[in-house]
């Protein structure tokens, strides 16, 4: 592989930076890092009505969160700037005279409304419609007259007649299209701004882009871009069109699943390394059934040849599983606490000032967080352990009702009485509690689960969570007993006289 690799990610700030965009950015980044090339970010913001500063910030924030550092682009100087298309208008106009003089482009004075009406009528009548080149047939004097008058116009690219347009895609192979299937398309809009097809060709050429790696939805635009390269007598870059990303139902990603902002995954408590890992596997595989990979491994093994042209499937269940594996096995303790405690503080369960100033309090909070660690699919689920920090929590009514039965209540009352055998108030650790309960169950000839499940609900309000005995140890004897007695009192009060 040659060493002058230059690739780019060219997001449009007209919507969220979603999974598909992030995957494209990652593959460009991996390819550049694998071969010692340059990764460039170019913002395609020529649509002034839909582009926004907020969306640009979202894109850059997402790239920072995913740690996809770029070599040139917004906020980074480079020889090929500026990196906002809205600031490159004069650059695009440099090549307009040559395209007109060589007959590759012509001015069109048809209004948007005219074209829309005729297109609609043509589709209704024959099922299709192409622009009929009426403005191409205008006499030169008439064109000059209209231009001099300031009449609104666009610039159209003239598609050559009876020509096979072809290019080689490094994933999909040879792609061919007859020119008669294309209509003369607009390359400069009436406001003077370039259209996507024209701007990206000029930018990719001037930024020396060697490989255009993008989503397969752009493959339909590529023949037009190839024609522009040829008209301007520029070398055509190599094209790589990445496979479509579908949901588990094999349908296009919706806003509910995958098509939302990447930063939503951050806010929900997914780790950036998990998201990068799952993105890498959406079309590419290093082989050997490797699933969990660090960034160094990805860079060393990435290749375009191993990208599968078949549709990729993005499954959030798989993402949850992988995130859990990263939390358990690949997250240092200090980082785990630094990421989870803010969720507890925001939920009002932990006092920020006390956590930072009181070491005993900090140690206890960290112990509670660690109890939940193996069960976390996303970091924000840490807030489900509110019952450790406060006695004012909601009980799961369905779970509670399941255990509010006379025989269960009587068994729990007997257990509480027997628990007094642990006479030393200091003996309330997980091991002692475990041993006591299992002996209690064995002496009465029933499975420990018969009492473990109701005890968990009476103490925590929910049916699942960390181990019961570790949970009881952290909550403490007095609070556990108070909660159990409260449920017993509630039951007996509701059934008094029955």
Integer Cα distance of 28 and 72 in angstroms = 13
Residue 121 Cα distances to 114, 135, 491, angstroms? 11, 19, 74
The answer to whether 61 and 28 have CB atoms below 8 angstroms apart is: no
Counting Cα atoms < 13 Å in the Cβ hemisphere of 104 gives 17
CA 151 centroid distance within chain: 45
Helix or strand holding residue 100 (H, E): helix 96-101
Pick the catalytic residue: 145, 255, 354, 421? 255
Q: How many residues does the chain have?
A: 498
The answer to whether 399 and 456 have CB atoms below 8 angstroms apart is: no
CA 299 centroid distance within chain: 20
Pairing verdict, β 312-313 and 245-246: parallel
Integer Cα distance of 301 and 182 in angstroms = 39
> Burial of 66 by CB count in 10 Å (0-12 exposed, 13-18 middle, 19+ buried)?
buried
Q: Could you give the angle at the alpha carbon of 392 between the alpha carbons of 386 and 393, nearest 5°?
A: 50
- 423 token code pair: 């006479």
Q: Considering only CA atoms, which of 22, 62, 25 is closest in space to residue 264?
A: 62
- 184 token code pair: 């003369």
Q: How many CB atoms are located within 10 Å of the residue 216 CB?
A: 18
Rounded to 10°, the helix 272-280/316-329 angle is 130
Integer Cα distance of 468 and 459 in angstroms = 9
Those residues whose C-beta lies under 8 Å from the C-beta of residue 311, and which sit 6 or more positions away, are 243, 244, 245, 246, 250
Q: Considering only CA atoms, which of 107, 114, 153 is closest in space to residue 133?
A: 107
Integer Cα distance of 444 and 439 in angstroms = 9
Integer Cα distance of 287 and 285 in angstroms = 5
Those residues whose C-beta lies under 8 Å from the C-beta of residue 482, and which sit 6 or more positions away, are 391
Integer Cα distance of 340 and 382 in angstroms = 7
Q: Which residue has the tokens 């294309």?
A: 182
Known active-site residue 380: no
Per-residue DSSP letter, 107: E
Q: Which residues are catalytic?
A: 255
């Amino acid at each position: 592989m040659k060493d002058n690799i230059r690739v780019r990610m060219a997001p449009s700030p007209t919507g969220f930076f979603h999974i598909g965009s992030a995957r494209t950015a990652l593959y460009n980044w991996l390819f550049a890092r694998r071969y010692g090339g340059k990764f460039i970010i170019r913002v395609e913001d020529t649509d002034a009505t839909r582009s926004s500063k907020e969306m640009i910030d979202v894109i850059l924030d997402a790239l920072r969160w995913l740690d996809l550092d770029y070599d040139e682009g917004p906020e980074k100087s480079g020889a090929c700037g500026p990196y906002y298309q809205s600031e490159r208008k004069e650059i695009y106009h440099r090549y307009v005279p040559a395209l007109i003089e060589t007959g590759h482009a012509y001015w069109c004075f048809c209004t948007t409304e005219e074209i829309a009406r005729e297109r609609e009528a043509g589709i209704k009548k024959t099922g299709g419609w192409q622009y009929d080149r009426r403005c191409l047939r205008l006499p030169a004097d008439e064109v000059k007259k209209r231009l001099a008058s300031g009449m609104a116009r666009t610039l159209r690219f003239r598609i050559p007649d009876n020509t096979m347009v072809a290019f080689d895609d490094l994933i999909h192979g040879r792609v061919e299209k007859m020119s008669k299937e294309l209509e003369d398309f607009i390359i400069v809009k009436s406001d003077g701004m370039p259209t996507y097809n024209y701007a990206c060709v000029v930018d990719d050429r001037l930024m020396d882009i060697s490989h255009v790696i993008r989503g397969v939805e752009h493959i339909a635009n590529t023949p037009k871009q190839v024609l522009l390269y040829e008209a301007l007598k520029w070398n055509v870059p190599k094209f790589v069109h990445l496979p479509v990303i579908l949901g588990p139902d094999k349908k296009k990603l919706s806003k509910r699943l995958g098509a939302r902002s990447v930063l939503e995954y951050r806010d929900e408590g997914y780790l950036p390394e998990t998201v990068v890992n799952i993105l890498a596997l959406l079309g590419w595989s290093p082989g050997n059934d490797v699933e969990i990979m660090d960034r160094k491994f990805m860079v060393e093994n990435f290749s375009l040849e191993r990208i599968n042209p078949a549709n990729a499937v993005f499954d959030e269940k798989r993402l949850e599983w992988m995130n859990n594996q990263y939390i358990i096995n690949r997250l240092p303790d200090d980082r785990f606490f630094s990421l989870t405690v803010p969720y507890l503080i925001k939920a009002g369960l932990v006092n920020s000032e006390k956590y930072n100033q009181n070491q005993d309090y900090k140690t206890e909070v960290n112990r509670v967080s660690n109890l939940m660690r193996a069960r976390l699919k996303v970091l924000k689920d840490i807030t489900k352990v509110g019952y450790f920090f406060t006695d004012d929590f909601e009980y799961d009514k369905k779970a509670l009702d399941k255990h509010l039965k006379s025989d269960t209540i009587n068994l729990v009352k007997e257990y509480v009485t027997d628990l007094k055998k642990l006479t030393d108030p200091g003996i309330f650790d997980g091991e002692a509690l475990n041993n006591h309960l299992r002996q209690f169950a064995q002496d009465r000839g029933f499975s420990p689960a018969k009492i473990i499940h109701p005890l968990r609900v009476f103490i925590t309000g929910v049916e699942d969570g960390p181990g019961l005995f570790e949970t009881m140890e952290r909550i403490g004897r007095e609070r556990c007993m108070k909660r159990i007695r409260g449920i017993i009192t509630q039951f007996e009060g509701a059934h008094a006289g029955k």
